[in-house]
Structure 1
Amino acid sequence: MKDIIIIGAGGVGRETICLIDDINSKNHEWNIIGFVDDNMSIHGKTIHGHTVLGGINILNEYKAEVYAICTISDGLIKKKILDKIQNSDVVYPNLIHPSAVISKYVEFGKGVIIQANCVITSNIKIGNHVQLNPQCGIGHDVTIKDYASLYWNVNLSGFVTIGEGAVLGTKTTVIQNKRIGEWSVIGANATVINDIPANCVAVGSPAKPIKNRLEYI
């Protein structure tokens, strides 16, 4: 079994414990060492049977190869955290739920999380540290760039592009040939029928930008 550390001890971190348990039920692949999280108030606490070892810098202090997976959903925060890790001995695996349906015509980056019952079809490119929550459907010729997160039951039609760090809320639907700009956030239950620019928050059906995301970060 391979040792793995979970980056982030929040809700998605707990869900990732469940994902790893499901993977291990089919193939004993992963030994969870524990969590790392910069929230000092939870250091030393036990979550789902695994200890919060300390802050992110623990990964920079490793002297041997170790696997790690980042479970932060917000793309901007995720990138900032991963940029802190400069240790070349840290390896980012892809964690894919056994129930996911994935064609052989998919290109994956590293550090990707694919949760239960996702369907990923043909000629799809998924970048580094992308997170797909349960029941997402990804149509042909879609590109999902680094650090993007898709919440539960997001559906992307053919030839959609999801920009770097974009976050798509639960039950978002994007029709064919549309583009979500980098670092934008799409609200839950949105229907995207037009391109969405970068760095904005868009909501509604059809989805419309309502504010600049960077103004409140």
Structure 2
Amino acid sequence: MKKIAIFGAGGFGKEVMMLIEQINASKLQWQILGFYDDGVEKGTIINEYEVLGNLADLNAVTGDISVAVAIGDSQIRFDIISRLSNPQLSYPVLMHPNVLTGKYVTIEEGAIITANNILTVNIEVGKFVILNLTCTVGHDAILEDFTSFMPSVNISGGVVVREGVYVGTGAQILNNIEIGAWTKVGAGAVVKESLPAHCTAVGVPAINVKYHE
């Protein structure tokens, strides 16, 4: 079995631990080591697993270890990955056994796809993408690196979601539009038209309410 640790011991980290346990229940694949987190004291026990240290400790680990970066915020996840320099770390795709995928779906390293997601056909999922519970992704969609989709997001066909976009719970993105890099879409929003980069959009229909770095 391969060894795996989770970076991030918060709520989503606990859910990713559950995901790995459910993967193991379907087919034993992972020896779970525990958590790493910069904000939780080493030795703390969370849901029966130990916090083994912080990011510096993870960078000092010897031997091959897989890591799931369980941070829901796109920017923070990007920053953490940029600081993980240990060449012995690898970042597997973690996908719940009940996820439904069609043909010609590509999923790159570090992606985390939780229970009850549906990905149809001809879809590209980039590096370190998070698809939280019960999302749907339509045909010919492109989800670039570090994008984050909270529970029950619906992504229609032909949608392009650029790097680092964060989409809140229950949002809907309609066909053949593009969301610019590092934009944030509020919970429950309905995106009917393309959005520029570095904006925050909320409402039904979603409108750009501010720009950010």
Q: TM-score, normalised by structure 1?
A: 0.96
1:90 aligns with 2:89: yes
Offset, 1:192: 0.2
Offset, 1:213: 3.0
1:118 aligns with 2:104: no
Secondary structure at the aligned position of 2:210 is classed as: strand
CA distance in 2 between counterparts of 1:161 and 1:172 reads: 15
Task: Tell me if the contact between 1:185 and 1:213 (Cα under 8 Å) persists in the aligned partners.
Answer: no
**Equivalent residue number for residue 151 of structure 2:** 152
CA distance in 1 between counterparts of 2:18 and 2:198 reads: 32
Query: Residues 30-109 of structure 1: matches in 2 within 5 Å?
Result: 30-39=30-39, 41-109=40-108
- Identity percentage of aligned residues: 39
Structure 2: which amino acid aligns with 1:36?
Answer: Y
- Write out per-residue CA displacement over residues 53-74 of structure 1, whole angstroms, 9 at most, x where no aligned residue: 1111222112211100101111
CA distance in 1 between counterparts of 2:32 and 2:182 reads: 31
Structure 2: which amino acid aligns with 1:15?
Answer: E
Offset, 1:211: 1.4
**Equivalent residue number for residue 18 of structure 1:** 18
Following TM superposition, where does structure 1 have runs of at least 4 consecutive aligned residues deviating by more than 4 angstroms? none
**Equivalent residue number for residue 178 of structure 1:** 177
Instruction: Please provide the CA RMSD for this pair.
Output: 0.9
- Write out per-residue CA displacement over residues 143-185 of structure 1, whole angstroms, 9 at most, x where no aligned residue: 0000111000101111101111111011111111111111111
Task: Tell me if the contact between 1:17 and 1:48 (Cα under 8 Å) persists in the aligned partners.
Answer: no
Secondary structure at the aligned position of 2:25 is classed as: helix
Structure 2: which amino acid aligns with 1:143?
Answer: I
Stretches of structure 1 that go unaligned for 5 or more consecutive residues are none
Offset, 1:193: 0.4
Provide the aligned length of Structure 1 versus Structure 2: 213
CA distance in 2 between counterparts of 1:81 and 1:28 reads: 28
1:190 aligns with 2:179: no
